[in-house]
């Protein structure tokens, strides 16, 4: 057994898993506060990454400027999307809500393909050093940065939801919409804000992933990969999303390792999380940290 490789893969898994966790957090945030299941999460990553790429390449702005500009664009985009498309969906059956986000996902995915083409584009070099050696493990600079960004985002989420006025308002709305409204919280603003946060944070993840693997259509797959993570953690638990993300990230790398070494089935990296997903749904549908939906007659 090749322990070196396994360790490397596990470290990679944790790094990617943290990003899954960040995307999962956005998903959970939107689900918790607006009860909308966002199948278009992956497109947020895609759009964010393409916008940042276009600003870098066509307008030749410095990286930090285009990064911040694209985040601002995504915040506006998220709010606009919520206002135009998702507000009429409040109170509709769940199938309509799911389908409308799927519709959005198809629309933006092909729009991005139309505008930017199908071939992957790479970001210009941002770091001088390609990779860095920590404790004998080779870690790419971009990965290191993505880990730091992921941890910073998580810390920011924690601070925002524990101490800030808006964060508390959002938690109150998620807990009970009507009571929150009667206490003077603008539920409309909370909805808009949660979409804006989800769009910006996902776009950050998209830009980071784009720097590692290049920007292409495959970024939107992340929006689907996030489902195993959030289901494992429980759909309405932010901690659960992080834990689920890391577990799924490690799991797919370990599955890939065992597959390439022993089993030779192929494609385990992509498909293993979905087997796990089905098994979790079978035995523990509300995940590790999710609130159980108890029905009494």
Partner 1 sequence: MSSLTMRPCGDFRTSYKQDNTIFETKTIRFVALAAIAVLCFAPLFLDGYFLTLCIQISYLGIAALGLNILVGYTGQISLGHGAFFGFGAFASAWLNNSFNIPVFLSIPLAGFMTMGIGMMFGVPAARIKGLYLAIATLASQFIIEDFFARADWFSGGSSGASAEPLTLFGFAFDTDQSFYYVALFALITMFVWACNLMRSRDGRAFVAIRDHYLSAEIMGIKLNKYRLLSFGISSFYAGIAGALYAHYLGYVSAEGFTIFLSIQFLAMIIIGGMGSIKGTLMGVIFMVFLPEVLSSGVGVMKMTDWGNIPLVVDGLAYIKEMAIGLVIIGFLIFEPEGLAHRWAQIKNYWKFYPFSY
Determine if 61 is a binding residue for partner 1 (CB under 8 A).
Answer: no
For partner 1, the closer of residues 158 and 274 by Cβ is 274
Minimal distance in Å, beta carbon 159 to partner 1? Answer: 29
For partner 1, the closer of residues 43 and 207 by Cβ is 43
* CA-closest candidate to residue 227, choices 206, 248, 196: 248
For partner 1, the closer of residues 109 and 177 by Cβ is 109
Minimal distance in Å, beta carbon 156 to partner 1? Answer: 27
Determine if 224 is a binding residue for partner 1 (CB under 8 A).
Answer: yes
For partner 1, the closer of residues 101 and 177 by Cβ is 101
Determine if 37 is a binding residue for partner 1 (CB under 8 A).
Answer: yes
Residues 232-251 that bind partner 1 (CB under 8 A): 235
Residues 62-91 that bind partner 1 (CB under 8 A): 85, 88-89
Determine if 98 is a binding residue for partner 1 (CB under 8 A).
Answer: yes
Which of 231, 242, 247, 251 forms a contact with partner 1 (CB under 8 A)? 231
The stretch among 137-145, 201-209, 245-253, 260-268 that binds partner 1 (CB under 8 A) is 260-268
Number of chain positions touching partner 1 (CB under 8 A):
42
* CA-closest candidate to residue 86, choices 114, 105, 112: 105
Which of 99, 141, 144, 168 forms a contact with partner 1 (CB under 8 A)? 99
Minimal distance in Å, beta carbon 9 to partner 1? Answer: 21
Q: Which residues of this protein are in contact with partner 1, per CB under 8 A? A: 37, 85, 88-89, 92, 94-96, 98-100, 102-111, 113-114, 224, 227-228, 231, 235, 265-267, 270-271, 274-275, 277-278, 281-282, 285, 295, 297
């Amino acid at each position: 057994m090749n322990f070196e490789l396994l360790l490397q893969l596990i470290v990679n898994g944790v790094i990617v898993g943290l990003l899954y966790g960040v995307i999962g957090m956005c998903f959970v945030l939107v689900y918790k506060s607006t009860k909308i299941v966002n199948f278009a999460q992956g497109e947020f990553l895609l759009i964010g990454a393409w916008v940042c790429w276009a600003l870098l390449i066509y307008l030749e702005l410095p990286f930090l400027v285009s990064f911040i500009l694209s985040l601002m664009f995504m915040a506006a985009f998220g709010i606009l999307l919520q206002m135009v498309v998702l507000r009429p969906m409040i109170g509709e059956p769940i199938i309509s809500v799911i389908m409308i986000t799927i519709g959005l996902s198809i629309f933006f995915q092909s729009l991005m393909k139309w505008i930017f083409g199908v071939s992957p584009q790479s970001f210009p070099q941002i770091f001088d050093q390609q990779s860095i050696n920590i404790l004998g493990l080779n870690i790419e600079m971009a990965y290191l940065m993505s880990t730091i960004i992921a941890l910073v985002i998580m810390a920011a989420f924690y601070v925002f939801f524990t101490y800030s006025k808006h964060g508390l308002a959002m938690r109150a709305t998620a807990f009970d919409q009507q009571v929150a409204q009667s206490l003077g919280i603008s539920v409309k603003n909370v909805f808009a804000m949660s979409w804006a946060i989800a769009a910006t944070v996902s776009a950050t993840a998209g830009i980071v992933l784009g720097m590692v693997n290049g920007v292409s259509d495959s970024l939107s797959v992340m929006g689907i990969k996030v489902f195993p993570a959030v289901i494992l953690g429980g759909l309405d638990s932010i901690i659960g999303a992080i834990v689920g993300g890391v577990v799924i990230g490690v799991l797919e790398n370990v599955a890939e390792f065992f597959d390439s070494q022993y089993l030779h089935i192929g494609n385990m990296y992509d498909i293993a999380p979905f087997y796990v997903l089905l098994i979790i749904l079978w035995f523990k549908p509300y995940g590790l940290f999710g609130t159980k939906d108890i029905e009494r007659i």
